[in-house]
Amino acid sequence: MDQLSIAEAVKQICDEKGIPLAAVIETIEAALAAAYRKDFGEKNQNIKVEFDLNTGKSKVFDVKTVVEDMPEELLAAQESEEEKIAKKSGEELAVAETPAPEGEEVRRFNPKTEIQISDALNIKKGVKVGEEIRTRLEIPGDFGRMAAQTAKQVIVQKLRETERETLYQEFKGKEGEIMVGTVQRREGNLVLFDLGRLTALLPPEEQIRGENYSSGSRLKVYITSVNKTTKGPEIIVSRSHPEIVKKLFYLEIPEIANGVVQVKDVAREAGNRSKIAVWTDQENIDPIGSCIGQRGARIQTIISELKGEKVDIIKYSDDPAEYIANALSPAKILEVKTNEEAKTAIAKVSEDQLSLAIGKAGQNVRLAAKLTGWKIDITSDGKKKIETEAAETEKEDGKEIEEKAKEEKEEEKEEKKVEKKKAKKEEGEAKEKEDKKEKKTETKKVKKEEKKEKKTKEKNN
């Protein structure tokens, strides 16, 4: 392969895999070093190769670090220990582990990567401890088949590792961000999303209940975590995380993206409803109006992205009473009494606003409590009191009723199936009886006709 072909191949690898040029050259150098060791290497040589992409030529060096001289008796003990271990394992060891007296640090000499100062001074005058000695080595001839195979394996392995590391670093920086993914397929309860260069996992706990993940559909997902595994980076994404609502507001509303309007808090029950608190220090800007947009254009884009999930935009306030009253919207609150120490609040509403303040299965008051961080109790003019715990219980009861209804539906379906099977069976049996009857009647007719023919023949004779 000529120099031009090598340069083109390297450039192609960089473009396809998204790997930096320096990393590819480093991989080639490691492969050439492995090939040299295989064919021409000697014991205790630390082979390093410098590859020039412009010329296509390489230089081979034996690189060693200068260390202090070691006492002769310690060197002899280390060498004998090396020989014993080498005989047992059938391998050459560069560093042998020798037992050390308690409390003392063992000093080991590695002849492969280190050179003693006395020997180093013979090679290069004025050299100091800690410096590197690079001895140029000649390449006697072409590499053999086995050396080429070794080089190929090193290149494949190193490129794979580099690609995985590059992808990991790229997606690790996107943690806590939103990406557009395409639903690839389902594997049991897991949904696989194609994010371009990698496939991400959407686990059941991060899915929105009732949302349809049909193959090929494009959805925005929130990257919750990126982890290293033996098979490459593992990306976990979410559709139910509260941060996805916040990020969508950053994407769709310029005032929030510019920092003019700030998102203070988000509370979410994925698939049903979200509440988001916004605030601005500029008097001439309406934070809620900025989020809604002209004729609700901006908020509708967010709602459609969340597949119809309702979003309440709340005006944030440093005054807890005002903030809680705003958080309980669309209900109109008459009065809010707060207890700073216990972080509890009692919101008073008129009788006709009570159900609106509580919400379906206690959803409104529950989300308001999540958003503000306060425990909220609601009382009406008629002194009827509803607590957030009661709302939670109502939610649980609602869930139980839903589950029971589901079970009843399933039982009903099963019963219908059994009835259908029974009806089919009965229909089949009735048909069989009818067929037998028809067959019998036909047989009788045939016999009757045969007798008639016989009689006619006898009369003619």
Q: DSSP string covering 57-91, please?
A: -EEEEEEEEEE----HHHHHHHHHHHHHHHHHHSS
Residue whose C-alpha is closest to residue 248's, from 274, 272, 269:
274
Looking at the fold, whether 136 and 32 belong to one and the same domain comes out as yes
Looking at the fold, whether 146 and 58 belong to one and the same domain comes out as yes
CA 121, distance to chain mean position in Å, is 56
Q: Is residue 227 in some structural domain?
A: yes
Looking at the fold, whether 54 and 142 belong to one and the same domain comes out as yes
CA–CA dist 423, 416 (Å, integer): 10
Rg (CA), the chain: 40
Task: Provide the edge-to-edge strand list for the sheet that holds 333-339.
Answer: 333-339, 344-349, 375-380, 385-387
- Residue 399: which domain range? 317-416
CA distances from 67 to 5, 113, 115, 117, 134 (A): 43, 10, 6, 6, 14
Residue whose C-alpha is closest to residue 167's, from 333, 334, 23, 267:
23
Which residues partner with 339 through β-bridges?
A: 344
Looking at the fold, whether 51 and 121 belong to one and the same domain comes out as yes
Residue whose C-alpha is closest to residue 36's, from 58, 5, 53, 64:
58
Looking at the fold, whether 33 and 139 belong to one and the same domain comes out as yes
CA–CA dist 314, 26 (Å, integer): 55
For the domain that residue 282 is a member of, what is the CATH number?
Answer: 3.30.300.20
Pairing of strands 190-194, 132-137: unpaired
Residue whose structure tokens are 């949904």:
191
CA distances from 420 to 293, 407, 412, 449 (A): 55, 20, 12, 43
Helix and strand numbers, DSSP H then E, in the chain: 13, 16
Looking at the fold, whether 126 and 195 belong to one and the same domain comes out as no
Report the sign of the C-alpha dihedral through residues 194, 198, 204, 208, in that order.
Answer: negative
CA–CA dist 28, 22 (Å, integer): 10
Looking at the fold, whether 24 and 37 belong to one and the same domain comes out as yes
pLDDT tens, the chain, 461 aa long: 555 677 788 888 888 777 888 888 888 888 888 888 888 888 888 888 888 887 778 888 888 888 888 777 676 777 777 666 666 655 444 444 444 444 445 567 788 888 888 888 888 888 888 888 888 888 777 777 787 788 888 888 888 888 888 889 989 999 999 999 999 999 989 999 999 889 999 999 999 988 889 999 999 999 999 999 888 899 999 999 999 999 999 999 999 999 999 999 999 999 899 999 999 999 899 999 999 988 899 999 999 989 889 999 999 999 999 999 999 989 999 999 999 899 999 999 998 889 899 988 899 999 999 999 999 999 987 655 555 555 555 555 556 556 666 666 676 777 777 777 777 777 777 777 777 777 777 777 777 777 777 777 777 76
C-alpha neighbours within 13 Å on the C-beta side of residue 109: 19
Q: Which two tokens stand for residue 376?
A: 């909220």
For the domain that residue 182 is a member of, what is the CATH number?
Answer: 2.40.50.140
Residue whose C-alpha is closest to residue 251's, from 308, 183, 302:
302
Looking at the fold, whether 307 and 350 belong to one and the same domain comes out as no
For the stretch 227-272, pLDDT in tens is 998 888 999 999 999 999 999 999 999 999 999 999 999 999 998 9
Q: What is the pTM of this model?
A: 0.61
Q: Which two tokens stand for residue 180?
A: 């557009």
For the stretch 20-55, pLDDT in tens is 888 888 888 888 888 888 888 888 888 888 888 877
Looking at the fold, whether 14 and 133 belong to one and the same domain comes out as yes
Looking at the fold, whether 68 and 201 belong to one and the same domain comes out as no
Looking at the fold, whether 308 and 332 belong to one and the same domain comes out as no
Looking at the fold, whether 263 and 200 belong to one and the same domain comes out as no
